[in-house]
Amino acid sequence: MNKVLSKSKLILASPRGFCAGVERAVEILQRAIDLLGAPVYVKHEVVHNK
């Protein structure tokens, strides 16, 4: 079977980074560590790619 390969162009948004919810969650965890000390355990992923 012949495969035809086509060129694709990938455009990355700029600026890129975490969403506000992730930034807030990380900030809250950092505050908890500063206040209570490490380790701090969480029930689910703080940062996910879904």
Euclidean distance between CA atoms 41 and 45, whole angstroms: 10
* Residue 50 falls inside a structural domain: no
C-beta contacts of 26-31 below 8 A and 24+ residues apart = none
Q: In this structure, is residue 14 part of a structural domain?
A: no
Q: What is the pTM of this model?
A: 0.61
Tell me whether residue 4 is in a domain.
no
Q: Residue 42 CA to chain centroid, in angstroms?
A: 16
DSSP 21: H
Domain housing 25: 19-45
The DSSP 8-state label assigned to residue 20 in this structure reads: H
Distance separating alpha carbons of residues 2 and 19, to the nearest angstrom: 42
pLDDT digit string, tens, across residues 35-47: 999 999 999 988 8
DSSP-assigned letters across all residues of 28-44: HHHHHHHHH-S----SS
Check residue 24 and give its pLDDT: 93
